[in-house]
């Protein structure tokens, strides 16, 4: 049956329904079908021993806490067996809040006190983004390993010096790409991909909306980036790296990890300031297309999460394989549940919904083990820095778009 261009489809269906004809037509005609319940699986990941005693222990300190991501970073290392020794924060309000949250840490007056402490094996930092690489380079030269908040590098010159210093010192320069390393649904997706559940990965798509200001309500995270007033550096690309370099780094890390790509190029990228004229240098939208030697990727980023959402962003991950696909609704299941870590998988044999909230996050324990044993299980060093390189290149080559209002 063909419905001509001059006929309104909605009106046609309404008329057919009123005439009682709809009930006599096959569901397939309208794109509907009766689901076969035999291949639909709803499951919850079984409870795991999240309280298991870590195998190793290290001493670590914090040097810079300009972004509240430091709370999650510290939490991961503590879970993994780390002992928090000392902390330095340049901003008095940040330092006071940190001291209250972690009273076991000795609060010191300068970066040098952290760098000169021979007992500290690892330094964590969420200082202003363009200062993270110079600090990490100095940390490695002082014989310590380093875990930076993302972005861990903001220029290609910094990246070259980081790589050179790693070669010279044999230290670890890690970057906390928390949207994979510290998201249970993303961890489970990695396990399924590695098990071959969707065949060979062809493409990843990451949709990564963010919120500039997130009021603390309904049990939301008081340490989310937008839970307090944004600092001046937040609006300046030369300080935070730009939207693709900053929040895009999470997504490019996922592209490399799930596709297994060891080489990649930025095919295209663009950025815009759509709705923040009071901050003319700020970028509130960006996207990029990537091509790796083992898969393809697309990333969309924005700062337009609406107020009605009960979290800072409806982050989505889509992984397309030759034999199926995975979707992860990381932080919320809109209109269904406020709970995050929702994973959906479809392949040749089944449709699965997996509640991943019982997954134990492995990064902390693996990272502490890496520091003790000089391995790279928690994060591949080469892949970590390739993600940083790609987002810097995407940012540098991005076309600046001006939309008409």
Q: For position 166, what pLDDT does the model report?
A: 98
Question: Rounded CA gap, 119 and 336, in Å?
Answer: 49
- The dihedral region occupied by 80, where left means phi > 0, alpha psi between -120 and 50, and beta the remainder, is alpha
Q: How confident is the model at residue 405 (pLDDT cuts 50, 70, 90)?
A: confident
Q: Residue 229 has what pLDDT?
A: 82
Mean pLDDT of 369-379: 98
Residue-wise pLDDT for 18-29, tens only, equals 555 444 455 544
Task: Give residue 14's pLDDT.
Answer: 56
pLDDT attached to residue 1: 39
Give 243's contacts (C-beta < 8 A, 6+ positions apart). Answer: 237, 271, 283, 284, 285, 286, 301, 303, 395
Cis peptide before 151 (omega within 30 of 0): yes
Report which of residues 31 and 162 the model is more confident about: 162
DSSP SS3 for 232: helix
Instruction: Identify the CATH homologous superfamily for domain 58-176+364-378.
Output: NAD(P)-binding Rossmann-like Domain (3.40.50.720)
Percent of the chain scoring above 70 in pLDDT? 87
The pLDDT of residue 403 = 96
Q: Mean of the per-residue pLDDT values for the chain?
A: 91
- How far is Cα 300 from Cα 172, in angstroms, rounded to an integer? 30
Q: How far apart are CA 83 and CA 254, in angstroms?
A: 29
Euclidean distance between CA atoms 328 and 184, whole angstroms: 10
Out of 51-55, 134-138, 158-162, 383-387, pick the least confident: 51-55
Other beta carbons within 10 Å of 275: 14
Cβ density class 151-177: b for 16+ within 10 Å, e for less: bbbbbeebbebbbebbeebebbbbbbb
**Residue 169 C-alpha from the chain's centroid:** 29
Mean pLDDT of 253-276: 98
pLDDT of residue 2: 43
Which candidate, 159, 181, 163, places its Cα nearest to that of 172? 163
Residue 207: which of 311, 128, 316, 304 has the closest Cα?
A: 316
How crowded is residue 319: how many other Cβ atoms within 10 Å of its Cβ? 27
Residue range 389-402: average pLDDT? 98
Q: Residue 124's beta-bridge partner residues?
A: 62, 147
Q: How confident is the model at residue 360 (pLDDT cuts 50, 70, 90)?
A: very high
Where in the chain are the domains?
58-176+364-378, 180-360+393-401
**pTM: predicted TM-score of the whole model, two decimal places:** 0.89
CATH class of 180-360+393-401: alpha beta
Quote the pLDDT of residue 6: 43
**Distance between CA 31 and CA 26 in Å, rounded?**
10
Element (H, E) at 285: strand 285-292
For residue 129, pLDDT beyond 80: yes
User: For the chain, what percent of residues have pLDDT higher than 90?
Assistant: 83
Q: Determine the pLDDT at residue 17.
A: 53
Lowest-confidence segment of 206-220, 343-357, 385-399 by average pLDDT:
206-220
């Amino acid at each position: 049956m063909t419905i001509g261009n001059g006929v309104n489809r909605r009106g046609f269906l309404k008329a057919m329904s009123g005439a009682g004809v709809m009930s006599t037509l096959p569901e397939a005609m309208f794109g509907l079908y009766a689901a076969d319940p035999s291949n639909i699986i709803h499951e919850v990941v079984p409870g795991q021993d999240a309280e298991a005693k870590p195998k190793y222990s290290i001493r670590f300190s914090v040097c810079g806490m300009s972004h509240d991501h430091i709370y999650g970073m510290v939490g991961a290392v503590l879970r993994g067996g780390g002992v928090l020794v000392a902390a330095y924060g340049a901003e008095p309000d940040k330092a006071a809040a940190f001291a209250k949250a972690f009273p076991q840490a000795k609060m010191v007056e300068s970066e040098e006190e952290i760098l000169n402490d021979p007992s500290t094996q690892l330094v964590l930092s969420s200082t202003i983004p363009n200062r993270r690489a110079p600090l990490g380079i100095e940390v490695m030269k002082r014989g310590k390993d380093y875990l930076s908040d993302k972005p861990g590098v903001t220029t290609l010159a910094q990246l070259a010096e980081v790589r050179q210093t790693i070669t010279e010192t044999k230290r670890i320069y890690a970057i906390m790409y928390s949207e994979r390393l510290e998201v249970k649904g993303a961890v489970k997706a990695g396990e399924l991909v590695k098990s071959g559940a969707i065949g060979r990965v062809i493409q990843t798509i990451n949709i990564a909306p963010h919120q500039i200001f997130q009021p603390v309500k309904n049990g939301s995270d008081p340490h989310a980036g937008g839970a307090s007033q944004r600092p001046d550096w937040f609006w300046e690309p030369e300080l935070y790296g730009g939207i693709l370099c900053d929040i895009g780094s999470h997504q490019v890390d996922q592209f490399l990890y799930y596709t297994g790509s060891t080489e990649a190029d930025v095919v295209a990228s663009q950025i815009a300031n759509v709705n923040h004229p009071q901050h003319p240098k700020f970028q509130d939208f960006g996207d990029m297309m990537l091509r790796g030697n083992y898969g393809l990727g697309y990333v969309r980023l924005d700062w337009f999460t609406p107020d009605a959402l009960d979290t800072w962003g409806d982050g989505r991950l889509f992984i397309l394989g030759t034999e199926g696909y995975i979707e992860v609704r990381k932080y919320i299941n809109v209109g269904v549940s406020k709970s995050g870590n929702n994973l959906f998988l479809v392949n040749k044999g089944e449709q699965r919904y997996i509640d991943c909230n019982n997954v134990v996050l492995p990064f902390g324990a693996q990272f502490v083990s890496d520091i003790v044993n000089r391995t790279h299980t928690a994060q591949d060093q080469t892949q970590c820095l390739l993600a940083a390189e790609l987002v810097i290149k995407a940012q540098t080559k991005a076309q600046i778009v001006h939309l008409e209002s």
